[in-house]
Amino acid sequence: MKKLRLLWLLPLLFLVYFFGVLLYGTFTDYQPPSVLPAEIAAHAREKTLKDSVISLMIWNLGYAGLGAEADFFYQGGGFFTSRGRMVRPPKPLVEQYFAGTTAAVNLYQADFYLFQEVDYASKRSYYLNQFTAMQQKVPDFFAAYFPNYRAKRVPLPLLEPWNAYGAVNSGLATYAKFEPTESKRLQLPGKFGWPKRLFMLDRCLGFTRYKTRFGKDLVVINIHNEAFDKGGIKRQQEEFLRDLALAEYQKGNFVIAGGDWNTCPPFLPHDVFMKGKAPKGEEGQNMNPALFPADWHWIYDPTVPTNRNNDQPYQAKKTFVTLIDYFLVSPNVKVRKVKGISQEFRFSDHQAVWMEVELVP
Protein backbone atom coordinates (compact mmCIF):
# COMPACT_ATOMS: atom_id res chain seq x y z
CA MET A 1 0.00 0.00 0.00
CA LYS A 2 2.83 2.43 0.89
CA LYS A 3 4.58 1.66 -2.41
CA LEU A 4 1.37 2.40 -4.31
CA ARG A 5 0.98 5.74 -2.52
CA LEU A 6 4.59 6.59 -3.33
CA LEU A 7 3.98 5.82 -7.01
CA TRP A 8 1.09 8.33 -6.97
CA LEU A 9 3.00 10.85 -4.87
CA LEU A 10 6.05 11.19 -7.14
CA PRO A 11 4.17 12.31 -10.29
CA LEU A 12 1.99 14.58 -8.15
CA LEU A 13 5.05 16.27 -6.68
CA PHE A 14 6.48 16.72 -10.16
CA LEU A 15 3.26 18.32 -11.40
CA VAL A 16 3.24 20.70 -8.42
CA TYR A 17 6.88 21.58 -9.13
CA PHE A 18 6.26 21.98 -12.88
CA PHE A 19 3.28 24.30 -12.53
CA GLY A 20 4.98 26.16 -9.70
CA VAL A 21 7.94 26.84 -11.98
CA LEU A 22 5.63 28.17 -14.70
CA LEU A 23 3.70 30.39 -12.29
CA TYR A 24 6.87 31.80 -10.76
CA GLY A 25 8.37 32.38 -14.19
CA THR A 26 5.21 34.11 -15.41
CA PHE A 27 4.93 36.48 -12.45
CA THR A 28 8.65 37.37 -12.46
CA ASP A 29 9.06 37.55 -16.25
CA TYR A 30 11.29 40.44 -17.35
CA GLN A 31 9.28 42.60 -19.76
CA PRO A 32 11.29 45.70 -20.63
CA PRO A 33 9.71 48.61 -22.51
CA SER A 34 10.64 49.20 -26.15
CA VAL A 35 13.21 51.87 -25.18
CA LEU A 36 15.29 52.08 -22.01
CA PRO A 37 18.27 54.28 -21.10
CA ALA A 38 21.53 52.35 -20.95
CA GLU A 39 22.90 51.47 -17.53
CA ILE A 40 26.09 53.54 -17.38
CA ALA A 41 29.06 52.66 -15.18
CA ALA A 42 31.67 55.16 -16.41
CA HIS A 43 32.09 58.21 -18.64
CA ALA A 44 34.76 59.08 -21.21
CA ARG A 45 36.85 62.24 -21.24
CA GLU A 46 36.66 62.80 -24.99
CA LYS A 47 33.36 64.27 -26.19
CA THR A 48 33.91 64.40 -29.96
CA LEU A 49 35.58 62.16 -32.52
CA LYS A 50 38.31 64.37 -33.93
CA ASP A 51 40.00 61.72 -36.04
CA SER A 52 38.30 60.12 -39.03
CA VAL A 53 40.01 56.75 -38.39
CA ILE A 54 38.64 54.55 -35.58
CA SER A 55 38.87 50.91 -34.54
CA LEU A 56 36.28 48.53 -33.11
CA MET A 57 36.31 45.04 -31.64
CA ILE A 58 33.34 42.68 -31.30
CA TRP A 59 33.22 39.56 -29.14
CA ASN A 60 30.60 37.33 -27.60
CA LEU A 61 32.28 36.51 -24.28
CA GLY A 62 30.04 33.51 -23.61
CA TYR A 63 29.65 34.77 -20.00
CA ALA A 64 33.13 33.33 -19.31
CA GLY A 65 31.52 29.92 -19.19
CA LEU A 66 32.02 28.44 -22.64
CA GLY A 67 35.76 28.16 -23.21
CA ALA A 68 37.50 25.24 -24.88
CA GLU A 69 37.01 22.74 -22.04
CA ALA A 70 33.28 23.47 -21.69
CA ASP A 71 30.18 22.07 -23.33
CA PHE A 72 26.61 23.34 -22.94
CA PHE A 73 23.62 21.26 -21.97
CA TYR A 74 21.03 23.21 -23.98
CA GLN A 75 22.68 22.87 -27.40
CA GLY A 76 22.42 19.12 -27.00
CA GLY A 77 18.66 19.40 -26.61
CA GLY A 78 18.76 19.31 -22.84
CA PHE A 79 15.44 20.98 -21.99
CA PHE A 80 14.61 18.19 -19.55
CA THR A 81 18.04 16.80 -18.64
CA SER A 82 21.66 17.89 -18.95
CA ARG A 83 22.59 14.56 -20.58
CA GLY A 84 25.96 14.65 -18.88
CA ARG A 85 26.86 18.08 -20.27
CA MET A 86 27.77 21.12 -18.19
CA VAL A 87 25.00 23.33 -16.88
CA ARG A 88 27.79 25.57 -15.62
CA PRO A 89 31.56 24.99 -15.63
CA PRO A 90 33.60 24.79 -12.41
CA LYS A 91 34.45 28.17 -10.90
CA PRO A 92 38.21 27.92 -11.66
CA LEU A 93 37.37 27.58 -15.36
CA VAL A 94 35.10 30.65 -15.27
CA GLU A 95 37.90 32.64 -13.65
CA GLN A 96 40.38 31.35 -16.24
CA TYR A 97 38.11 32.23 -19.17
CA PHE A 98 37.37 35.71 -17.88
CA ALA A 99 41.05 36.40 -17.26
CA GLY A 100 41.67 35.41 -20.88
CA THR A 101 39.05 37.81 -22.23
CA THR A 102 40.36 40.76 -20.20
CA ALA A 103 43.93 39.99 -21.32
CA ALA A 104 42.76 40.06 -24.94
CA VAL A 105 41.23 43.51 -24.45
CA ASN A 106 44.61 44.81 -23.33
CA LEU A 107 46.35 43.08 -26.24
CA TYR A 108 43.96 44.10 -29.04
CA GLN A 109 43.35 47.75 -28.38
CA ALA A 110 40.38 49.51 -29.96
CA ASP A 111 38.35 52.72 -29.65
CA PHE A 112 35.11 50.75 -29.26
CA TYR A 113 34.46 47.34 -27.72
CA LEU A 114 31.09 45.71 -28.42
CA PHE A 115 30.62 42.64 -26.24
CA GLN A 116 27.75 40.18 -25.91
CA GLU A 117 26.85 37.70 -23.15
CA VAL A 118 28.43 39.78 -20.42
CA ASP A 119 27.15 38.66 -17.02
CA TYR A 120 26.24 41.22 -14.40
CA ALA A 121 25.11 38.82 -11.67
CA SER A 122 24.40 35.22 -12.71
CA LYS A 123 24.63 31.88 -10.99
CA ARG A 124 26.23 30.34 -14.10
CA SER A 125 29.29 32.61 -13.67
CA TYR A 126 29.31 32.60 -9.85
CA TYR A 127 27.89 36.14 -9.65
CA LEU A 128 31.05 37.76 -11.01
CA ASN A 129 30.19 41.27 -12.23
CA GLN A 130 31.89 40.97 -15.60
CA PHE A 131 30.60 44.32 -16.84
CA THR A 132 32.32 46.44 -14.18
CA ALA A 133 35.37 44.16 -14.01
CA MET A 134 35.91 44.64 -17.75
CA GLN A 135 35.35 48.40 -17.41
CA GLN A 136 38.29 48.57 -15.02
CA LYS A 137 40.52 47.33 -17.85
CA VAL A 138 39.60 50.40 -19.92
CA PRO A 139 39.28 53.00 -17.12
CA ASP A 140 39.01 56.10 -19.34
CA PHE A 141 36.25 54.63 -21.51
CA PHE A 142 32.51 55.18 -21.46
CA ALA A 143 30.81 51.97 -20.28
CA ALA A 144 27.18 51.05 -20.98
CA TYR A 145 25.24 47.90 -20.13
CA PHE A 146 22.11 46.77 -22.00
CA PRO A 147 20.38 43.84 -20.23
CA ASN A 148 18.90 41.19 -22.50
CA TYR A 149 18.60 38.20 -20.17
CA ARG A 150 17.06 38.68 -16.75
CA ALA A 151 15.42 35.79 -14.97
CA LYS A 152 14.96 35.17 -11.27
CA ARG A 153 15.43 31.46 -11.87
CA VAL A 154 15.90 29.49 -15.07
CA PRO A 155 14.65 25.99 -14.07
CA LEU A 156 16.34 24.09 -16.90
CA PRO A 157 17.13 21.25 -17.13
CA LEU A 158 13.61 20.68 -15.92
CA LEU A 159 14.13 17.19 -14.49
CA GLU A 160 17.21 18.26 -12.51
CA PRO A 161 15.97 20.95 -10.09
CA TRP A 162 19.12 20.48 -7.96
CA ASN A 163 21.18 21.38 -11.04
CA ALA A 164 19.07 24.25 -12.41
CA TYR A 165 20.65 27.07 -14.41
CA GLY A 166 19.41 29.51 -11.77
CA ALA A 167 19.35 33.30 -11.65
CA VAL A 168 20.60 35.19 -14.71
CA ASN A 169 21.38 38.88 -15.24
CA SER A 170 23.29 39.26 -18.48
CA GLY A 171 23.46 41.54 -21.49
CA LEU A 172 25.41 43.57 -24.01
CA ALA A 173 28.26 45.88 -23.02
CA THR A 174 29.64 48.77 -25.04
CA TYR A 175 32.89 50.46 -24.04
CA ALA A 176 33.93 53.57 -25.97
CA LYS A 177 36.84 56.00 -25.91
CA PHE A 178 34.31 58.77 -26.55
CA GLU A 179 31.30 59.99 -24.59
CA PRO A 180 28.06 59.43 -26.51
CA THR A 181 25.30 61.99 -26.75
CA GLU A 182 22.76 59.17 -26.59
CA SER A 183 22.87 55.61 -25.26
CA LYS A 184 19.80 53.41 -25.07
CA ARG A 185 18.48 49.87 -25.08
CA LEU A 186 16.13 49.11 -28.00
CA GLN A 187 13.93 46.06 -27.60
CA LEU A 188 13.99 43.79 -30.65
CA PRO A 189 10.74 42.37 -32.01
CA GLY A 190 9.80 38.71 -31.96
CA LYS A 191 9.13 36.35 -29.08
CA PHE A 192 8.78 32.64 -28.53
CA GLY A 193 5.42 31.38 -27.34
CA TRP A 194 4.57 30.85 -23.69
CA PRO A 195 6.06 29.20 -21.65
CA LYS A 196 9.37 29.00 -23.58
CA ARG A 197 9.75 32.78 -23.67
CA LEU A 198 9.80 32.91 -19.86
CA PHE A 199 13.30 31.47 -19.73
CA MET A 200 14.82 32.81 -22.97
CA LEU A 201 16.64 36.06 -23.75
CA ASP A 202 14.78 39.32 -24.35
CA ARG A 203 16.91 40.35 -27.32
CA CYS A 204 17.87 43.98 -27.76
CA LEU A 205 20.20 46.40 -29.51
CA GLY A 206 22.74 48.52 -27.65
CA PHE A 207 22.47 51.90 -29.41
CA THR A 208 25.02 54.70 -28.90
CA ARG A 209 25.43 57.99 -30.76
CA TYR A 210 28.62 60.13 -30.92
CA LYS A 211 29.50 63.57 -32.21
CA THR A 212 32.11 63.82 -34.96
CA ARG A 213 34.13 66.76 -36.26
CA PHE A 214 32.22 66.53 -39.54
CA GLY A 215 28.99 67.81 -37.99
CA LYS A 216 27.32 64.41 -38.44
CA ASP A 217 26.86 61.67 -35.87
CA LEU A 218 28.44 58.25 -35.64
CA VAL A 219 25.88 55.62 -34.65
CA VAL A 220 27.29 52.39 -33.19
CA ILE A 221 24.94 49.44 -32.68
CA ASN A 222 25.78 46.41 -30.54
CA ILE A 223 24.07 43.29 -31.94
CA HIS A 224 23.01 39.93 -30.49
CA ASN A 225 20.18 38.48 -32.53
CA GLU A 226 18.11 35.38 -31.83
CA ALA A 227 19.84 32.01 -31.87
CA PHE A 228 17.28 29.26 -31.16
CA ASP A 229 14.95 30.08 -34.04
CA LYS A 230 14.43 28.76 -37.55
CA GLY A 231 14.20 32.19 -39.13
CA GLY A 232 10.95 33.97 -38.33
CA ILE A 233 12.12 35.88 -35.26
CA LYS A 234 15.55 36.52 -36.76
CA ARG A 235 14.01 38.07 -39.85
CA GLN A 236 11.90 40.44 -37.74
CA GLN A 237 14.99 41.52 -35.83
CA GLU A 238 17.05 42.03 -38.99
CA GLU A 239 14.32 44.16 -40.54
CA PHE A 240 14.09 46.25 -37.36
CA LEU A 241 17.83 46.94 -37.56
CA ARG A 242 17.60 47.74 -41.27
CA ASP A 243 14.91 50.37 -40.75
CA LEU A 244 16.85 51.94 -37.88
CA ALA A 245 20.19 51.99 -39.72
CA LEU A 246 18.77 53.32 -43.00
CA ALA A 247 16.94 56.12 -41.16
CA GLU A 248 20.20 57.22 -39.52
CA TYR A 249 22.13 57.09 -42.78
CA GLN A 250 19.48 59.15 -44.55
CA LYS A 251 20.21 61.91 -42.03
CA GLY A 252 23.82 61.87 -43.22
CA ASN A 253 25.13 59.94 -40.21
CA PHE A 254 27.77 57.21 -40.13
CA VAL A 255 26.43 53.78 -39.09
CA ILE A 256 28.37 50.77 -37.78
CA ALA A 257 26.65 47.67 -36.40
CA GLY A 258 28.52 44.68 -35.07
CA GLY A 259 28.29 41.64 -32.87
CA ASP A 260 26.83 38.14 -32.83
CA TRP A 261 24.21 37.91 -35.59
CA ASN A 262 23.62 34.16 -35.12
CA THR A 263 23.41 34.03 -38.91
CA CYS A 264 26.15 33.67 -41.53
CA PRO A 265 26.87 36.68 -43.76
CA PRO A 266 25.30 36.78 -47.23
CA PHE A 267 26.68 34.16 -49.60
CA LEU A 268 29.22 32.74 -47.11
CA PRO A 269 28.56 28.97 -46.79
CA HIS A 270 28.06 27.87 -43.20
CA ASP A 271 30.49 25.00 -43.85
CA VAL A 272 33.22 27.21 -45.33
CA PHE A 273 35.73 25.91 -42.75
CA MET A 274 34.47 22.30 -42.64
CA LYS A 275 32.99 21.22 -45.95
CA GLY A 276 29.94 19.02 -45.77
CA LYS A 277 29.40 19.37 -42.02
CA ALA A 278 26.54 21.15 -40.32
CA PRO A 279 26.08 23.15 -37.11
CA LYS A 280 24.03 21.86 -34.19
CA GLY A 281 22.03 25.08 -33.92
CA GLU A 282 20.42 27.37 -36.48
CA GLU A 283 23.62 29.11 -37.58
CA GLY A 284 23.46 27.48 -41.02
CA GLN A 285 21.17 30.26 -42.23
CA ASN A 286 22.46 33.19 -44.29
CA MET A 287 21.69 36.88 -43.98
CA ASN A 288 19.38 38.02 -46.76
CA PRO A 289 21.65 39.84 -49.27
CA ALA A 290 18.74 42.09 -50.28
CA LEU A 291 18.19 43.28 -46.70
CA PHE A 292 20.36 46.38 -47.29
CA PRO A 293 21.18 48.35 -50.45
CA ALA A 294 24.23 47.14 -52.36
CA ASP A 295 26.43 50.02 -51.18
CA TRP A 296 26.19 48.84 -47.57
CA HIS A 297 28.87 46.30 -46.67
CA TRP A 298 29.10 43.20 -44.47
CA ILE A 299 32.62 43.08 -43.04
CA TYR A 300 34.36 39.94 -41.77
CA ASP A 301 37.59 37.98 -42.00
CA PRO A 302 36.78 34.89 -44.11
CA THR A 303 39.90 33.07 -42.89
CA VAL A 304 39.00 32.87 -39.18
CA PRO A 305 35.90 31.14 -37.74
CA THR A 306 34.06 33.00 -35.00
CA ASN A 307 31.76 30.35 -33.52
CA ARG A 308 31.93 26.67 -32.60
CA ASN A 309 29.44 23.98 -31.67
CA ASN A 310 29.40 23.62 -27.90
CA ASP A 311 27.64 20.28 -27.55
CA GLN A 312 31.07 18.96 -26.55
CA PRO A 313 34.44 20.45 -25.55
CA TYR A 314 36.40 21.99 -28.40
CA GLN A 315 38.64 19.77 -30.50
CA ALA A 316 40.61 21.41 -33.28
CA LYS A 317 39.62 20.16 -36.77
CA LYS A 318 36.85 18.01 -35.26
CA THR A 319 34.43 20.46 -33.64
CA PHE A 320 32.26 22.24 -36.20
CA VAL A 321 33.11 25.92 -36.62
CA THR A 322 31.49 28.69 -38.65
CA LEU A 323 31.31 32.49 -38.94
CA ILE A 324 28.41 34.45 -37.42
CA ASP A 325 30.17 37.46 -35.81
CA TYR A 326 30.84 40.42 -38.11
CA PHE A 327 30.17 44.09 -38.90
CA LEU A 328 27.79 46.04 -41.11
CA VAL A 329 28.85 49.53 -42.27
CA SER A 330 27.06 52.31 -44.13
CA PRO A 331 28.41 53.60 -47.49
CA ASN A 332 30.17 56.57 -45.85
CA VAL A 333 32.34 54.24 -43.73
CA LYS A 334 35.45 52.94 -45.50
CA VAL A 335 37.00 49.76 -44.12
CA ARG A 336 40.79 49.84 -43.86
CA LYS A 337 41.49 46.57 -42.03
CA VAL A 338 39.55 43.63 -40.59
CA LYS A 339 41.05 40.77 -38.62
CA GLY A 340 39.55 37.72 -36.96
CA ILE A 341 41.36 36.93 -33.72
CA SER A 342 42.08 33.22 -33.56
CA GLN A 343 42.58 31.87 -30.03
CA GLU A 344 41.41 28.30 -30.66
CA PHE A 345 38.22 29.14 -28.68
CA ARG A 346 40.19 29.02 -25.42
CA PHE A 347 38.05 31.57 -23.59
CA SER A 348 34.64 31.53 -25.32
CA ASP A 349 32.65 29.60 -27.89
CA HIS A 350 33.07 32.74 -30.04
CA GLN A 351 36.16 34.51 -31.35
CA ALA A 352 36.66 38.25 -31.60
CA VAL A 353 36.83 40.37 -34.74
CA TRP A 354 38.80 43.65 -34.92
CA MET A 355 38.20 46.31 -37.56
CA GLU A 356 39.67 49.70 -38.49
CA VAL A 357 37.57 52.12 -40.53
CA GLU A 358 37.68 55.66 -41.88
CA LEU A 359 34.65 57.96 -41.73
CA VAL A 360 34.26 59.55 -45.16
CA PRO A 361 31.74 62.43 -45.21
Domains of the chain: residue spans and CATH: 31-359 (3.60.10.10)
Q: Which range (46-55, 71-80, 196-205) has the least confidence?
A: 71-80
- Answer whether residue 283 shows pLDDT above 80: no
> Comparing C-alpha atoms, which of 102, 281, 113, 326 is closest to residue 208?
113
- Return d(Cα 194, Cα 144) in angstroms, integer: 30
Q: Please state, in angstroms and rounded to a whole number, the distance separating the CA atoms of residues 149 and 168.
A: 7
**pLDDT beyond 90 at 191:** no
In this predicted structure, the answer to whether residue 294 has a pLDDT above a threshold of 90 is yes
Side-chain-side CA neighbours of 349 within 13 Å: the count stands at: 23
Instruction: Give per-residue pLDDT as tens, 64-123.
Output: 999 999 998 887 667 788 887 888 999 999 999 999 999 998 899 999 999 999 999 999
Q: pLDDT tens for residues 246-264?
A: 999 999 999 999 999 999 9
Strands 48-49 and 204-212: parallel
pLDDT, residue 316, reads 95
Task: Give 209-223 pLDDT, tens digit per residue.
Answer: 999 999 999 999 999
Residue 280 pLDDT? 61
Q: In whole angstroms, give the CA distance from residue 271 to residue 277.
A: 6
Is the pLDDT at 188 greater than 60? The verdict is yes
The answer on pLDDT for 180 being more than 60 is yes
Is 134:102 a contact under the CB 8 Å cutoff? yes
